[in-house]
């Protein structure tokens, strides 16, 4: 009888073995980008892409950040909303052997497949290139020193699905008009914003094509200016989207958003991660103001639109109450009947 049971299971074991062999590998070897990313024939048909998941695109350049980048990629792979992760390696000086060995020994996927695309240049425009590997309607553009916890990632994607034409992000900035000098500047406002950064932004996959392949001569000039400045690709993407929909971005509150590149970090060992960032240049804000002025000049108009407020997971009383000998927010020790619902809270 034991032999009969084993023989009955053999067809099932054989079929399962074939099934797992046909599954795509969770970790893909180094791959080059598509030869002609702007050829629409190479891109998936709109009816075949998924709307229930998104693709994560992580830009990588600094070898000192590789361990952090790989840890972030592994974390995102566990999210049920993530279809796949593409690491866009844009440092041409990194030896392929070195990169391959580092990936093989340190990269782990917990669900979504992870691929590494070796870019042909270090252009910041490359992070917006269309790719036939992207099989979702939405992409998340991320830096290699920012990590969003799974719950917050799920929440941000949920918000994007109700605002599919807009950019959704966590890090707001703004343009403004300096009346004394009669010129556009790059700044931060406490109560309004018109730009979200590529530290982490979710947007429609179609916008990659609009940025990289559309817009004719004007967009070619603007992408060239991004290369010249080695900055501002995120500002230009906000220009592109606002110009199409005449709306500003959506800001999401991130309770567990880790930014290793923020100068306010004080933990030992993070200084090296911060120092390689473009935003650490002394003239960073001036250069970005120069970008806004040039984009406005070439386009002949200012498409950026202000948004006001942010989306939060829940709203509760913020008074302090004593609990367990410590002061905590009062809403941490009470249960609200509609807790967890999405609300809008102004800044």
Residue keyed to tokens 């070195």: 98
Predicted local confidence at residue 157, as pLDDT: 98
Predicted local confidence at residue 16, as pLDDT: 45
Distance (Å, rounded) from C-alpha 280 to C-alpha 276?
8
Mean pLDDT of the chain: 85
Answer positive or negative: Cα dihedral of 38, 42, 47, 51. negative
Instruction: List, for residues 28-66, the tens digit of each pLDDT value.
Output: 667 777 889 999 999 999 899 999 999 999 999 999 899
Taking each helix axis from N to C end, the angle separating 96-106 and 66-76, rounded to the nearest 10 degrees, works out to: 50
Region label for 171, one of left (φ > 0), alpha (ψ between -120 and 50) or beta (otherwise) = beta
Predicted local confidence at residue 168, as pLDDT: 98
Region label for 160, one of left (φ > 0), alpha (ψ between -120 and 50) or beta (otherwise) = alpha
What is this structure's pTM? 0.82
DSSP 48-100: GSEEEEEEEEEEE--GGGHHHHHHHHHHHTT-TTEEEEEEEE--TTS-HHHHH
* Share of residues in the chain with pLDDT > 70 (%): 80
Burial 259-287, CB ≥16 within 10 A → b, else e: bbbeeebeeeeeeebbeebbeeeeeeeeb
Question: pLDDT confidence of 101, banded at 50, 70, 90?
Answer: confident
Distance (Å, rounded) from C-alpha 246 to C-alpha 266?
40
Distance (Å, rounded) from C-alpha 337 to C-alpha 112?
35
Active site residues: 234
Q: 311 pairs with which residues across the strands? A: 252, 344
pLDDT at 153 over 70: yes
Query: Average pLDDT of 179-197?
Result: 95
Residue 29: CB atoms within 10 A of its CB come to 10
pLDDT at 12 over 80: no
pLDDT at 11 over 70: no
Question: pLDDT confidence of 283, banded at 50, 70, 90?
Answer: confident
CA angle in degrees (0–180, nearest 5) for 275-128-60: 30
Lowest mean pLDDT: which of 57-61, 214-218, 332-336? 332-336
CATH, domain range 23-313: 3.90.550.10
């Amino acid at each position: 009888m034991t032999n009969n049971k084993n023989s009955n299971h053999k067809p099932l074991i054989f079929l399962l073995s074939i099934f797992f062999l046909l599954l795509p590998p969770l970790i893909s070897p180094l791959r080059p980008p598509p030869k002609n990313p702007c050829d629409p024939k190479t891109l998936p048909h709109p009816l075949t892409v998924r709307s229930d998941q998104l693709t994560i695109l992580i830009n990588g350049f600094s070898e000192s950040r590789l361990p952090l980048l790989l840890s972030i990629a592994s974390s995102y792979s566990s999210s049920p909303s993530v279809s796949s992760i593409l690491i866009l390696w844009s440092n041409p000086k990194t030896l392929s052997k070195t990169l391959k060995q580092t990936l093989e020994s340190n990269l782990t996927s917990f669900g979504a497949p992870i691929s590494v695309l070796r870019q042909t240049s270090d252009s910041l425009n490359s992070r917006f290139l269309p790719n036939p590997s992207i099989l979702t309607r939405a992409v998340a553009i991320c830096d290699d020193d920012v990590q969003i916890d799974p719950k917050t990632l799920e929440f941000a994607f949920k918000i994007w699905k109700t605002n599919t034409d807009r950019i959704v992000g966590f890090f707001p900035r703004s343009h403004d008009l300096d009346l004394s000098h009669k010129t556009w500047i790059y700044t931060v406002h406490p109560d309004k914003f018109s730009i979200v950064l590529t530290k982490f932004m979710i947007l429609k996959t179609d916008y990659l094509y609009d940025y990289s392949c559309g817009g004719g001569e004007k967009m070619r000039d603007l992408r060239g200016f991004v290369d010249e400045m080695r900055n501002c690709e995120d500002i230009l993407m906000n220009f592109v989207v606002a110009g199409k929909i005449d709306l500003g971005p959506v800001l999401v509150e991130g309770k567990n958003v880790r930014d290793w590149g923020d100068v306010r970090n004080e933990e030992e060992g993070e200084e090296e991660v911060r120092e390689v960032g473009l935003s650490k240049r002394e003239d960073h804000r001036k250069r970005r103001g120069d970008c806004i002025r040039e984009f406005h000049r070439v386009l002949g108009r200012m498409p950026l639109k202000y948004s006001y407020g942010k989306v939060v997971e829940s709203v509760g009383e913020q008074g302090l109450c004593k609990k367990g000998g410590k002061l905590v927010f009062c809403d941490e020790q009470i249960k609200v009947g509609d807790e967890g619902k999405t609300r809008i809270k102004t800044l």
